[in-house]
């Protein structure tokens, strides 16, 4: 598989710095990977599994094999996430920091010291 060089100046124009773009792209790749896992598991669950015979424990289900090969041919999540970044269809924002609320203890009134 050939490598495609990417101009680092593009990353500087897209985000604050290169590292920010890399982190955003990697998080998107994880999301895509999770979606693919869910799709794969749903498709495999639809296939009725063959009962294993006593002599053949390594029996391969051909339908499951077809689905596995189909998913292997899909583009890698990293490539898809990088394409989203290059197409400017990937955006991100920072979580706003919640203000820190300091709770003061109830002000205690000084006890009467006149009790002697």
Q: What is the pLDDT of residues 8-30, one digit of tens each?
A: 787 777 777 888 888 889 999 99
- For residue 47, pLDDT over 80 is answered with no
Count CB-CB contacts under 10 A for residue 85. 22
Please, what is the average pLDDT of the chain?
78
pTM for the predicted model, two decimal places: 0.66
Name the pLDDT band for 101 (thresholds 50, 70, 90): confident
Does position 110 have pLDDT exceeding 50, yes or no?
A: yes
Cα angle 63, 45, 31 (rounded to 5 degrees) comes to 105
């Amino acid at each position: 598989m050939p490598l495609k060089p990417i101009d680092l100046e593009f990353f500087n124009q897209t985000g604050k710095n290169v590292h920010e773009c890399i982190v955003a792209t990697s998080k998107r790749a994880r999301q895509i990977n999770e979606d693919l896992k869910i799709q794969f598991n749903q498709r495999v669950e639809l296939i009725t599994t063959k009962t294993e015979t006593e002599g053949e424990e390594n029996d391969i289900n051909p339908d499951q094999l077809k689905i596995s090969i189909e998913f292997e041919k899909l583009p890698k999540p990293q490539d898809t996430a990088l394409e989203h970044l290059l197409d400017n269809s990937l955006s991100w924002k920072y979580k706003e920091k919640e203000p820190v609320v300091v709770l003061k203890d109830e002000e205690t009134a000084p006890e009467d010291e006149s009790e002697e």
